[in-house]
Structures are given as structure tokens and as C-alpha cells.
Chains A and B, each alone.
Chain A
Amino acid sequence: MTGGATARPGSGLYVYGVVRADTPPDLFADVRGVDPTRPVAVLAEGEVAAVVSRVSLDEFGADAIAENLRVADWVAAKVRAHDDVLGATVGRTAVVPFRFGAIYGGEESVRTMLRERADLADRLETLSGRMELGVKGYVDREQVRALLARERGVGDDAPDTGRAYMERRRLDRELEDEVRERAMRWATAGHERLAAAADDARSSPARQDEAAPSSSMMFLNGAYLVREEDAERFRTALGELAESQRADGVTYELTGPWPAYSFVGEEEEPG
């Protein structure tokens, strides 16, 4: 990663993703790229085109980027810019999103990449007229605890007998297992139900959302590729799912539409 033969001064081309060659460049006229001072351009080769903008190697060179990736505000700003550019295509034309940080030496190397990746045109075809919607499912531990207590007849009052005390203890011990078990069941059932209303579906490992209230636990982190004309049907399916589980302390959150980030990866993340 240090200087040497690969160090080139000047600038490079940052590639956000690939669109159809006939995509009008003014689609990106209002968005700012990872370098806000440079315009976003469309570089066509054959049937496809790369969405690019020029970046300075002072900021994106190998050494510089390694440094900058340690700066939270820098990463946050660049991640947002990357998504803003790709987001300009949502509802307008299909895009194959690239992962953050694909930077090429110049136009010719971008064109070479486009020629070599014959699969890009096919991928665009698959994504055409479709959008990615994100659904996250959360369960409220406190609510599950209350439900469990009611099911078992464990009262909320201070335990006045040894038996009541033991029951309360047992409930506390078993709560985590019970929440996990229910969460797994809901994750499978919910994902299946939503996938049935979509063209394609991916489930990522549920992650603890640090920004969420502490008693809330994520059990579903799904992405769904939905045809534009099926969007309402998908929302209805989600609404029904949420309604049917409301009493269980379950809530769902819908995000997007997103560029189809989750449906272009070469490999599945393990887990």
C-alpha cells in the first residue's frame, strides 16, 4: 500500500455503478459525487455505461484513502454521496451498484472493465423496473416478558409465596431463550411471507441496532427486490404481517426504495 511503482499523482475515476448506455447524463445533474466539486458523468461502452466522477488522488490515493477511512465523518459523507448518486436512478432506470471505493486510473480502464464484464448487461435486465425495499423486524423484550407472565399466570405483584417467587425466577431465566426462539420463528415466517410478494429476497444477519431502544431486538433484516407495479402489494403484505403480530410485541420498519445493492453481490455473506 505504500507509494512505489503504483503511486500515480493526479486523479482517478470513481465508479458508482453501471446503467444502460442510453441513460441520459442529466439524470445526475443535481447530485454531488464523492468529490462534490466534480460533476457526475456517464461513460458508455457498448450496451452499458459507468456512472463516474473524477476524484483527486490526494484524497482517494491508496495511502490517503487508508487514512481517510479512519475518519468517521469522512466515511459518512462519502457513503452518503455514493448512495445519493445511485439513488438518482431509483424509479427511473436500473443500476448495478458497485461497492464503495472502485477507483480507476482513467476512462480507458473503465471502458476495458465494461467490455470485460459481459454479465453487467444481463444484470441490468434482471433489475429493470424493480426496486430494493428493506424490512427490519423488531421484537420488544419487555412485551414478550409480559405476555409470558400472563400465559403462565405469573403475577406482577410482589411474590407472596415461595412458589410465586420461584415462578418469577424461572420466567426471568427462560425469557432470553423464549425471545430467541420466537424471534427465529418470526424471522423465518416473516421473510417467507414477504419473499412471496417479491421477485427475489435476501436475508442478512439481524444486527443489534445500537440506535434502537435497549429492550428492542432486531430479528429480521431482509431485502426484497420488488417490481414497481407490485410495490403496493408488497406494502400491503407487510402491513398485514405487522398487524397479525402486533399483539406479540413485534414491529416492522420499511426502508427504501434503494438501488439494488443487496441483489448484485457475487458471493453471499456467510451467516
Chain B
Amino acid sequence: MSTRTATLAEQVTLIELVDRVLNKGVVLSGDITLSVAGVDLVYVGLRLLLTSVASLEERAAGEE
């Protein structure tokens, strides 16, 4: 379970980060030992965001 106490601002930053780090940047092929080519990183990012939003809502509900 997550022990992070992320704030709303941190969540927004994470969305920005995921948008860039997982979805953009130079994609290389070639002698990559463990390519994540088979993994849809955009999907990984979406799933991560859904999870973090869910935890955010849980916490918000807990604070009410």
C-alpha cells in the first residue's frame, strides 16, 4: 500500500511527467537488452494516473 502523502499539486505534476517521460522522447531500437518495446507505455501511464487519482479521491473522502 502506498504511504505517499501526495498533494493535489504533486498529482498534477505527476500527470505532466508521465505525459512526457512515458509518451515522448527518442525511442530507440537496436541493441537494447531489455526493450520495453513490447509494452504500451501510454497504457502504463494511463493506468498509473487512474490509480493515483483513485488514491487522491480516497484521501479526499477520508478528510471529509
A interface residues with partner B (beta carbon < 8 Å): 1, 6, 8, 12, 15, 17-18, 57, 60-62, 65-66, 69-70, 72-73, 75-76, 79-80, 82-83, 96-105, 109, 112-113, 116, 134, 204, 207, 209-212, 255, 258, 261-262, 264-266, 269
Contacts and interface: CB of A to CB of B under 8 A. Distances in A.
Interface of B: 2, 4, 8, 11-28, 30-36, 38-39, 41, 44-45, 47-53, 56
Nearest to A78: B21
B16 A134 contact: yes
Given A104-B31, A113-B30, A211-B56, A73 B2 contact: yes
A211 to B, nearest CB: 5
B34 A62 contact: yes
Contact of B31 (A73, A113, A209, A265): A113
Contacts of B25: 17, 97-100, 261, 264-265
Contacts of A98: 25-28
A79 B18 contact: yes
A142 to B, nearest CB: 20
B20 to A, nearest CB: 4
A223 to B, nearest CB: 8
Contacts of A207: 19
Nearest to B4: A73
